[in-house]
Amino acid sequence: MPPRIRLFYLGLIAVLLLIPALALYRELSRRADIWWTPAAMALSLPVAQDRVEIYVRGTPLGTLVDQKQLWIIDQAGRSAISAQDIGLRFNNWDRIRGARVPLLLLYAAACGAGVVLLVLVATGRLAYRGEHGMVA
């Protein structure tokens, strides 16, 4: 393979290798705390009952709130905690992590194939050898 064409293919493969490599880097370097429900969108206890159960000393939190057994003491005095006073935030990292595995594997496979192709072109293993005569 002429050096000019080899250099062209090396550059082309290197640029194409950057696409999955950068995507893989971007996926792996994301912050881990972004999967929490935003604080402004925290769910109240009655709304979140289908996703979480919280127990205090073996008693469901909802039962304690309904029976007004939980109190808060502050500068204004004592007051019973209501269900609307409790906000729940969820970490959806387990769902996101499971959904990203196939994409990460695809990026990693593309990076591996690109590196193999880059090495083959750089070492001249894909050089055209010409046609040989028919073997009888």
Closest by CA to 8, choosing from 121, 135, 98, is 121
Query: Would you say residue 132 has pLDDT above 70?
Result: no
Domain positions in the chain: 1-36+91-128, 37-90
Structure tokens at 29: 């370097």
Per-residue model confidence (pLDDT) at position 63: 87
Each residue's pLDDT tens digit, 64-86: 888 888 888 888 888 888 877 88
Specify burial of residue 107 (Cβ count, 10 A radius: 0-12, 13-18, 19+). buried
Query: Would you say residue 8 has pLDDT above 70?
Result: yes
Please tell me the distance from the alpha carbon of residue 126 to that of residue 136, in angstroms, as a whole number. 26
φ, ψ dihedrals at 23, nearest 5°: -65, -40
33-37, 43-47, 103-107, 121-125: the lowest-pLDDT one: 33-37
What is the sign, positive or negative, of the torsion defined by CA atoms of 62, 64, 68, 72?
A: negative
Q: Any idea which residue has 């935003």 for tokens?
A: 38
Neighbours of 121 (CB within 10 A): 21
